[in-house]
Amino acid sequence: MSNDLSPDVPEGASIDAEYDPERRVGSRKSFIDWYARESALARKGLACRLDVRYGPTPAETLDLFPSSEPGSPVLLYIHGGYWRALSSKEFSFVANGLVPHGITVAVMDYALCPKVTIADITRQSHAAVAWLAENARRFSADPGRLYVAGHSAGGQQVGMLLSGGGGAGTIKGGISISGLFDLRPLRHSWLQPTLQLTQDACEDQSPLLRIPRQAPPLLVSVGSEESDAFISQSQSYHAAWRAGGLAGRYYLQPGANHYTAIYGLGDRASPLTHMIAEFLR
């Protein structure tokens, strides 16, 4: 076995146990059903513009939920699913909690592995940021108040957006929930046939290995009921961020597992939503 495993994650089958949330909480179906049900209500109850194209390929679309407040901040949300599952439509619900706080929400769709690589998804995330920076005023949002948020694989994308490259300077802050910041263990997991990670790809796409010298503030959150590996990923990334002299905050959500760690985004009164709204202010 190569020495590219993070030091606190064991080898082999125990990697799967640490990184497969269903082994900890059972089938994800009830959680995904909740996402889909609440998202359908959001699309029915909120003003929205669906499937707005931000890039050239069919998957590169945004679902926009504009705030009624002119000049509102705009939050790009990047969904999870281990880069291989789900779509923007399961995550419209995040607008339910954030739009009432005067935040315009853009839920990003992207192509999935193995049809594309994680690096391709990172390119798409940068394209979405660039599109919002150029077009935010078309839906009364302020391109100078552009933030990014993501869950799980989407949290990794937040880290990549903040790590540098085109468009990073336009982002005013990032929120990562239950993110994956060191991809090296996943090469040895059940995900490898789908993700097809190489050592170079892990190093290139691991935000933990790409802490920038300058970056906007970062909020890192994770559920207290998640696996040791997921909690360690968030703690290690936050610690490295702060060690680099960057502004960051860590929030351990009491009683939340990997799937319910984003439930609060659907509730305008939840501690998570209030924390994000304050972060954007």
What string of pLDDT tens digits covers the 281 residues of the chain? 333 434 444 455 699 999 999 999 999 999 999 999 999 999 999 999 999 999 999 999 999 999 999 999 999 999 999 999 999 999 999 999 999 999 999 999 999 999 999 999 999 999 999 999 999 999 989 999 999 999 999 999 999 999 976 555 799 999 999 999 999 999 999 999 999 999 999 999 999 999 999 999 999 999 999 999 999 999 999 999 999 999 999 999 999 999 999 999 999 999 999 999 999 98
Q: What is the pLDDT of residue 167?
A: 53
- Burial class from Cβ neighbours inside 10 Å (0-12, 13-18, 19+) for residue 214 reads exposed
* Chain-centroid distance, C-alpha 139: 23
**Total of domains in the chain:** 1
Q: What is the pLDDT of residue 71?
A: 95
Q: Determine, yes or no, domain membership for 59.
A: yes
- Smallest CA-to-CA distance from 127 within 65, 53, 36 is with 53
Total residue count of the chain as it appears in this document: 281
Q: What is the pLDDT of residue 9?
A: 45
C-alpha–C-alpha distance, residues 183 and 203, integer Å:
8
Range of the domain at 38: 27-280
Q: Determine, yes or no, domain membership for 4.
A: no
Q: Determine, yes or no, domain membership for 268.
A: yes
Q: Determine, yes or no, domain membership for 14.
A: no
Q: Determine, yes or no, domain membership for 60.
A: yes
Query: Which SS3 state, helix, strand or coil, does residue 230 take?
Result: helix
Q: Output the pTM of the full model.
A: 0.94
C-alpha–C-alpha distance, residues 66 and 46, integer Å:
9
Contact 113, 84 (CB under 8 A): yes
What residue type is 99 in one-letter code? V
Q: Determine, yes or no, domain membership for 109.
A: yes
Query: Who contacts 34 (Cβ-Cβ below 8 Å, separation ≥6)?
Result: 263
Q: Token digits for 254?
A: 């009491």
Q: Token digits for 75?
A: 């939050």
Contact 175, 188 (CB under 8 A): no
- Burial class from Cβ neighbours inside 10 Å (0-12, 13-18, 19+) for residue 173 reads buried
Residue 153 maps to which CATH number? 3.40.50.1820
Q: Determine, yes or no, domain membership for 6.
A: no
Q: Determine, yes or no, domain membership for 18.
A: no
